[in-house]
Structure 1
């Protein structure tokens, strides 16, 4: 039997913290219209061990369809999870965890909805240093 892998994360402002365990670190991407509206891209979620997911802080939910809901931080608006109503399963947002908790992308949903503005191509790609130099030069080398 594999050992449990405890993971801890937080929303952008830190008011909501999340804890869970993962035996098999799996990440999935959803490109449905609602996920794209909610995140402006795709929703990346983690599959965590059943019953291990615990949120602490000002979590709000929005019932986005007859069968699903989405959670977010009441303070900063960070996306926290996607959940199915019928079985109560919640998939936390991968971005809540450093390095997406080491999970491997194993699948994509609604790939036929992927927009034409995906990230492949010859567009400008800037490093952290280059981006800070453009938008926040006062931070300099401190970031």
Structure 2
């Protein structure tokens, strides 16, 4: 899979929070883990935004430590999901729908595919990883 990186920007529904990432990967991934589905009501469609992320409107950002290694951020005014952040690496994963660059995004992979419920499926041809494969590849 060829990587495409570029600066991206986006904002929450109410506009109180804006986000800019210098080196985001334009490949969209879907996470089917139970926490992501509970958080957003469905799979988390997101891009890796790297560690060079600027957030304006930080006073309106609420953070929830969803695990020992990660936190999730959302706008405290409108509730828009802003990011999933890996604490140790300061790595931001941001919702694809948040970004202004919609026409440049390409869906390329799905993780926790073995946790995906049967009631939905994507027709895109993607690289798929199970829970065990994700932890084997990314766990500290």
TM-score range, shorter chain: 0.7 to 0.9
Bigger mean CA deviation after superposition, 33-42 or 58-67: 58-67
* Structure label with greater radius of gyration: 1
Q: 1:65 to 1:27 in 2, by over 3 A?
A: same
Cα shift readout 1:62-98 (whole Å, capped 9, x = no counterpart): 0001111101001011100011122221111111113
Distance 1:59 1:106 in 2: 29
Q: CA deviation at 1:23?
A: 6.4
Q: CA deviation at 1:40?
A: 0.5
1:54 aligns with 2:54: yes
Q: 1:49 to 1:87 in 2, by over 3 A?
A: closer
Aligned-CA RMSD value: 2.5
Equivalent residue number for residue 88 of structure 1:
90
Distance 1:48 1:23 in 2: 4
Q: Which runs of 5+ in 1 are unaligned?
A: 121-143
Q: Which runs of 5+ in 2 are unaligned?
A: 123-140
SS across alignment from 2:97: helix
Equivalent residue number for residue 115 of structure 2:
113
Q: 1:115 to 1:22 in 2, by over 3 A?
A: same
The structure carrying a bigger strand percent of its residues is 2
Alignment of 1:35-54 (within 5 A): 35-51=36-52, 53-54=53-54
**TM-score, normalised on structure 1?**
0.73
Q: CA deviation at 1:48?
A: 2.5
**TM-score, normalised on structure 2?**
0.74
Maintained 8 Å contact 1:25/1:101: no
Q: 1:79 to 1:3 in 2, by over 3 A?
A: closer
Aligned residue pairs, count: 119
